Amino acid sequence: MDFTEDQIQRYSRHIILQDVGVEGQERINKGKVLIVGAGGLGAPVALYLAAAGVGTIGIIDGDVVDLSNLQRQVIHFTADVNKAKVLSAKEKINQLNPEVEVITYYDLLTASNALDIIKDYDFVVDGTDNFPVKFLINDACVQARKPFSHGGILRFEGQTITVLPGTACYRCVFHAPPPPNAVPTCSQAGVLGAIAGMLGTIQAAEVLKYLTGVGDLLTNRLLTFNAKTMEFRTIKVKHNHRCAVCGDHPTITELVDYEQATCEIKSKH
């Protein structure tokens, strides 16, 4: 791949970065990354990967932009309300870096389409906000041997782990989706907007590290932080031999759609 003058300028801060250089930038430009969810996490991931010049960015999301999204989903603007999130995201990516090929899926990731969609990508980013899809992404990526980044945020906290074939997976750590009645009640929900950016940019950095082969990925380690104290912690986690999807005797051999837990706002008693 020969870079044009413009490309050398655009990516100069990567090219002069010793561990990345021309070769690393070429790998980024050839990279194909799927972002599941164009929301709080997907927004910063998409923007940073587009800026970095990731060659192909796939985005899957079945939602339209809602006014309540704008507090943290920084790829969507006020004028985008009611627009499909994938379209809104694609427009911003095109403006930021026209070299990036954006493939949009205005759809939900389900047990029936997951393997078919992820097969075309080098890396998958979980930017979803619900447990059924988080487990689906995990199981699909483990089965297809696709590297992926898990991300979760709640209130003032975030957590992320990178999963490669053979390293501890999300299910090794969390086993199964929480029972619907255990999902955080509304009074415990909500999220500080900037947390999404903090976690999403960590996920984006992991993608760029993976594509360039630089550094040590966040594998077999769960990174958690709490913005109230600004304390970060990495907890060593081991591949779980009893894991239902990647253990010695996997019981999950087909993908399933878990029931989506919902929560209703109730008045205080």
Partner 1 sequence: MSKILVNGKEQEVEVPISLIDLIKRNDVAQPDMVSVQLNGEFVDRGDFNSTLVNDKDEVDFLYFMGGGSPINQQNLQIK
Q: First and final CA of the chain: distance in angstroms?
A: 65
Q: For residues 37 and 81, is the Cβ–Cβ distance under 8 A?
A: no
229 CB-near residues (< 8 Å, 6+ apart): none
Stretch that binds partner 1, among 84-92, 101-109, 178-186, 247-255 (CB under 8 A): 178-186
155 part of the interface to partner 1, by CB under 8 A: yes
Which entry of Zn ion, partner 1, none binds 228, CB below 5 to 8 A by partner kind?
none
Structure tokens at 26: 């070429």
Question: Residue 226 touches which of partner 1, Zn ion, none (CB < 5 to 8 A by kind)?
Answer: none
Query: Which token pair is 262?
Result: 């919902």
Q: Which of 23, 101, 166, 184 binds partner 1 (CB under 8 A)?
A: 184
**Beta pairing partners, 58:** 34, 103
Tell me the two tokens of residue 153: 């945020």
- Concatenated DSSP letters for 211-237? HHT-S--S-SEEEEEETTTTEEEEEE-
Q: With binding defined as CB under 5 A, does residue 244 bind Zn ion?
A: no
Residue 68 in tokens? 């309540």
Q: Is 250 helix (H, G, I), strand (E, B) or coil?
A: coil
The pair of three-digit structure tokens given for residue 150, joined into one six-digit string: 């898990």
| Closer to partner 1 by Cβ: residue 11 or 131 | 131
Note whether 260 binds partner 1 by CB under 8 A: yes
Binds partner 1 by CB under 8 A, chosen from 237, 247, 257, 258: 237
* Distance in angstroms (rounded) separating the CA atoms of residues 37 and 188: 22
Q: Smallest Cα–Cα separation from 69: which of 87, 59, 82, 56?
A: 82
Q: Is 243 in the site for Zn ion (CB under 5 A)?
A: yes
172 part of the interface to partner 1, by CB under 8 A = yes
Q: Is 174 in the site for partner 1 (CB under 8 A)?
A: yes
Residues of this chain, 193-222, that bind partner 1 according to CB under 8 A: 195-196, 222
Give CA–CA dist 234/115, Å, rounded.
30
Q: Which of 7, 201, 219, 224 binds partner 1 (CB under 8 A)?
A: 224
Whether 166 contacts 141, CB under 8 Å: no
Name which position in 33, 34, 35, 41 contacts partner 1 (CB under 8 A).
41
CB of 73 to Zn ion, least distance (A): 30
CB 253 within 8 A of CB 243: no
Residue nearer to partner 1 on the CB measure, 12 or 260? 260
Determine which residue in the list 24, 31, 40, 197 makes contact with partner 1, applying CB under 8 A.
40
Using CB under 5 A as the criterion, what x/- string covers residues 159-178 for binding Zn ion? ----------x-xx------
Furthest-apart CA pair in the chain: how many Å? Answer: 67
What are 138's two structure tokens? 């995990």
List residues binding partner 1 (CB under 8 A).
Answer: 37, 39-41, 66, 128-131, 134, 152-155, 157-159, 172-175, 178-179, 182-184, 186, 188-191, 195-196, 222, 224, 233, 235-238, 240, 260-267
List residues binding Zn ion (CB under 5 A).
Answer: 169, 171-172, 243, 246
